[in-house]
Amino acid sequence: MPAPREGPLRAMKSVFEIIVIACFVTTFIAQPFQIPTGSMTPTLRVGDFLLVDKQTFALGSEHDGAGRYGVLPKSSVQRGDIIVFHWPVDPSMHLVKRVIGVPGDRIRLRHGRVWLNGEPLAEPYAYYAPSRPNSFRDEFPSLREADPNVEPDWWMKLRRSVAEHELTVPPGQYFVLGDNRNDSEDSRYWGFVPRSAIVGRPLLVYFAVRPAPAGGAFFAQLRAALRYAFGSVRILR
């Protein structure tokens, strides 16, 4: 006797279950993102696809206990963490930067190098591309003149917040910078990241694309693209 065929309702039910599970995973556990700019070069490159852990920095995780709930251990946001967050200027946009200052930290830059709480910060991940001097960018928080890329509201707040040539990170806020220091619009230009805006931290680069070079055979370009895509897979720490 032949096995009964699945009806359309059962097939629709299976598809619906897959969609529900996918929505649950991307909402609460992990979500893919693509790097659109070079502000985190060389740590993250344009065209990298990230899998972002949304549990570790979930709100309340500092009080839940590591690994008490969920698939991945939970922890508080630390200096040096790479985070994905809603841009405070336009929350519909996601940005990726590195946490430099946590609440209570005193921040300043001298000749482009970060000083944290009165001491130079060791940053092996920071990259300084050749560029023209920029006093606002390199001597932050410099109040002598505003950079044209600075958000006006942040410029006014900055003028009221600087003390002894330093900026103190307020409670519930974080100071972030791009690793590509001379080509990154970050907390220097638009302010702190609220704790509630943090989406998660990148776990790994699972794929990557780059613009195809002009000319060349199609299959040669395809092989090069696949080699680059899968050769870029790496775990982020």
The backbone torsions φ and ψ at residue 205, rounded to the nearest 5 degrees and listed phi first, read -95, 115
Q: Which of 54, 74, 97, 187 is catalytic?
A: 97
Based on the residue annotation, tell me whether 14 is a catalytic residue of this protein: no
The backbone torsions φ and ψ at residue 209, rounded to the nearest 5 degrees and listed phi first, read -130, 155
Quote the strand ranges of 15-93, DSSP E.
Answer: 30-34, 48-53, 82-86
The neighbouring-strand residues paired with 199 are none
Based on the residue annotation, tell me whether 39 is a catalytic residue of this protein: yes
**Measured between alpha carbons, how far is 142 from 178 in angstroms, rounded to an integer?**
18
**Measured between alpha carbons, how far is 201 from 85 in angstroms, rounded to an integer?**
9
Two structure tokens written together for 213: 């070079």
Q: Which of 39, 61, 142, 187 is catalytic?
A: 39
A 10 A CB-CB count for 38 gives: 18
Kindly list the catalytic residues: 39, 97
